[in-house]
Homo-oligomer: A and B are copies of this chain.
Amino acid sequence: MQTELSKKLGVEHALFGFTPFPAVAAAISRAGGFGVLGAVRYTAPDDLKRDLDWVEEHVDGRPYGLDVVMPAKKVEGVTEADVEAMIPEKHRQFVADTLAKHGVPELAEGEASGWRITGWMEQVARSQLDVAFDYPIKILANALGSPPADVVHRAHDQGILVAALAGSARHARKHQEAGIDIVVAQGYEAGGHTGEIASMVLTPDIVDAVDPLPVLAAGGIGSGQQVAAALALGAQGAWLGSIWLTTTEAGLPSPLLVRKLLAAESGDTVRSRALTGKPARQLRTEWTDAWDDPDGPGALPMPLQGLLVADAVTRIQKYEVEPLLGTPVGQIVGRMTGERSVQAVVDDLTRGFEEAVDRINRIAGRS
């Protein structure tokens, strides 16, 4: 499964795997795909350095990339405390009430939230980048608009391709104007932040809009048939995120969350502002229902919502509060029915791709 982009990157399969877990990223690259480590959860640069060192050691010399969440516009001098101060008391009370209703225990005194996902604040992303540029990453992806011009230039100076996620053709053209090298077309069915346009429509829209830039299709891809569909739509590769969540290498800390993911069907996700303030697809839970309830206070804009719910999400996860426990995941969650190794997933994707090619050739009368 070779496209111009996969050849350029020197990988065996045009399969790009986004994951917050270093062990998964390394395993994807070792299996012949291209692992992309999500940096958003690293608030301390040293933690990112430690994990990139680990990836370097375990990737067997294969190429890999890094994904940051960096706003294009710099907001000077705004600290986490400034943002905290903008959160209305009504919303803090709603969090407290919702947690109390479900009997969610408090964190211990001084226990830090592992979910203070402030990585999309510009200064945090920059400290991540200062670390990342010391490593031989081949792709730097940004999940929130085009990266700032100086970051694009610095990446290009180091021979790093810059990728950016887009939910519409217009959005993709802006990336192209900003000098981005690869557009990731993030369809409605994808896990995490996503727009309204589904992959079947979005992928060719963006392929046409930014031609000749390579496009990766994201959203709705968890099988080799879906990889084949994405490539038929003109993508130069598939960008997969959700499918890795239930791999053995991911080792999600909550066994209950793994069970919920394995049991969920395609219709069990929702595109909600509950997690970050921007619409993001995730498991539908009583937590997302509470934020999406028209009679509730509703989610705050990014980055306020993320800060508001950080401790709450940590508590829900730590204590595995079943009705509230969720995670970002796409509609292909219905295909995630058992824990497998990353290698087994990649084998399944490549085998399914070949079967789909056989099928399409039969239909076209070419075999």
Contacts and interface: CB of A to CB of B under 8 A. Distances in A.
A363 B3 contact: yes
Contact of A267 (B14, B168, B204, B230): B168
Kindly report how many copies of this chain are found in the complex they form together.
2
Interface residues of A, number: 52
Interface stretch (A40-48, A71-79, A95-103, A221-229): A221-229
Nearest to A168: B267
A294 interface: yes
Given A168-B266, A168-B267, A266-B168, A231 B201 contact: no
Which of A201, A233, A357 has the most CB atoms of chain B within a 10 A radius of its CB? A201
A67 interface: no
Which of A197, A294, A334, A363 has the most CB atoms of chain B within a 10 A radius of its CB? A363
B189 A197 contact: yes
Contacts of A267: 168, 195-197
B188 A198 contact: yes
Contact of A266 (B189, B202, B233, B354): B202
A360 B363 contact: no
A173 to B, nearest CB: 12
A353 interface: yes
Interface string A338-354: 00000000000000011
Contacts of A205: 266, 334
Given A197-B331, A223-B204, A361 B361 contact: yes
A232 interface: yes
A366 interface: yes
B200 A226 contact: yes
A365 interface: yes
Contacts of A178: none
Contacts of A265: 168-170
Which of A2, A219, A220 has the most CB atoms of chain B within a 10 A radius of its CB? A220
B228 A360 contact: yes
Contact of A198 (B200, B223, B366): B200
B3 A231 contact: no
B169 A266 contact: yes
Given A331-B197, A361-B357, A228 B232 contact: yes
A220 B201 CA distance: 5
Contacts of A187: 198, 200
A298 B119 CA distance: 39
A189 B200 contact: yes
A49 to B, nearest CB: 37
A144 interface: no
A154 interface: no
Contacts of A189: 188, 197-198, 200-201
Interface of A: 1-3, 14, 168-170, 187-189, 195-202, 204-205, 219-221, 223, 225-226, 228-234, 265-267, 294, 330-332, 334, 353-354, 356-357, 359-361, 363-366
14 contacts: A168-B266, A168-B267, A196-B267, A200-B229, A228-B232, A229-B232, A229-B233, A232-B232, A232-B359, A232-B360, A294-B294, A360-B360, A361-B361, A361-B366
Top 5 nearest A-B pairs (CB, nearest first) are A200-B220, A229-B229, A198-B198, A189-B198, A228-B232
